[in-house]
A = this chain, B = another copy of it.
Amino acid sequence: MVSELPETTYAVLGPVDKLPGSSGYELVAAADGSFAHFWPISQTLLYKELNRLAELGWVVASRVERARSPTKSANRSTPSGREALAGWLATTSQHTESFRSSFLLRFFLAHLMSARHLHALLGDYRRSLVERRDDLTAIVAGLEKASTPMARMGRLSALHGLRTVEARLQWISEVESALGPG
């Protein structure tokens, strides 16, 4: 049998199914604006997965010549592709999650830092979180009156990130008062 495909394959298949007729280039843009928040993917890899999906017969690409623009490939999911996607969605078995934070890695070694340095580290972390919070707030607000189910889910996914970021900002305050002034 086929040795299990990486989830990234489905991460590409999903949007192809959702946005039929998109080029790889358009899919990259769509990814950046939506699911890259919880499933980052580089342009190179997306094209690779697109080719794999074509080989699997799960996606077909038709060349579209246009008057005053480069020729693009219009990708569409096939019936077997949609079947595969449905099957994958049904495997709720294990939802893996990977998380790596170089901030926490440094924070964990705080005994090697001066108190001043530690507070600077926390300050940097807060700044980056605030930035993300503002981004996510804008996304959530922008999709407030979402009409399509896709946009609704996009908003709720962004909300997941927003709630996470807010909790971490609170954690910083908690830590700062636990550590006292630097």
Contacts and interface: CB of A to CB of B under 8 A. Distances in A.
B171 A104 contact: no
Interface stretch (A21-29, A48-56, A64-72, A93-101): A93-101
A34 B170 CA distance: 22
A157 B107 CA distance: 8
Interface residues of A, number: 60
Interface string A82-101: 00011001101011111111
Given A11-B105, A105-B38, A154-B108, A99 B96 contact: no
A42 to B, nearest CB: 13
A141 interface: no
A173 to B, nearest CB: 11
Contacts of A160: 104, 168, 171
Given A163-B167, A164-B167, 12 more contacts: A7-B102, A35-B104, A35-B108, A39-B104, A95-B125, A97-B100, A97-B101, A98-B100, A99-B100, A108-B154, A163-B170, A163-B174
